[in-house]
Amino acid sequence: MNYELLKDKVDFNAIAVDAGCSGNPGAMEYQGVYLGNEQRLFHFGPIPGTNNIGEFLAIVHALALIKQNGWQMRVYSDSVSGMAWVRNRKAKTTLKRTPETAEALDLVARAENWLWQNPRHAEVLKWNTEEWGEIPADFGRK
């Protein structure tokens, strides 16, 4: 990442999150990276799910981590859907519950519950991929 180019646009004391999914639904995973040094802070999966579920869970995971540690930082996501689901505290997934998808849907319910219990949380900002390039948490599978 070109820190010099982005220094006036991006808060580097932040967590960047992203999800990847092979198929829809398919093998879904997500991760969070600290922008200050691009260190991976968390990774989850793969489990059966969808990309939007992964994006949503990644944001909530980052928010919970920030709160748990008492950090003062923001979260960046490139997912409009994931950010909307967080804002509404409700995942608008159409994924059907099956034995394979139960874990992902249980995590969604847990994340929604966390958001209802923690309405005040770190700010979630849109990563401007067109201007800044791929989000540093990207899985690089495009």
DSSP 37: T
- Domain presence at residue 34: yes
Q: Can you spell out the DSSP letters for 81-95?
A: HHHHHHHHT-----P
In a domain, 128, yes or no: yes
In total, how many domains does the chain have?
Answer: 1
Considering the domain boundaries, does residue 30 fall inside one? yes
51 lies in some domain: yes
Q: pLDDT digits over 23-69, tens only?
A: 889 999 999 999 999 999 999 999 999 999 999 999 999 999 999 99
Assess if residue 138 is contained within a domain: no
Is residue 142 a part of any domain in this protein?
A: no
The whole-angstrom separation of Cα 129 and Cα 77 is: 10
Helix (H) / strand (E) containing 67? helix 51-69
What CA–CA distances, in Å, run from 13 to 10, 47, 66, 118?
9, 29, 11, 21
Distance CA(16)–CA(41), nearest Å, equals: 10
Q: What was the pLDDT predicted at 2?
A: 65
What's the whole-model pTM score?
Answer: 0.96
Does 139 reside within a domain? no
CATH number at residue 41: 3.30.420.10
Domain limits for position 84? 3-132
How sure is the predictor about 7, in pLDDT bands with cuts at 50, 70 and 90? confident
Angstrom distance (rounded) from CA 101 to CA 94: 11
8 Å CB contact between 66 and 17 = no
Look at residue 141 and tell me if it is in a domain: no
In contact, 78 and 142? CB cutoff 8 Å: no
Mean pLDDT of the region 90-101:
97
Band of pLDDT at residue 3, cut at 50, 70 and 90:
low
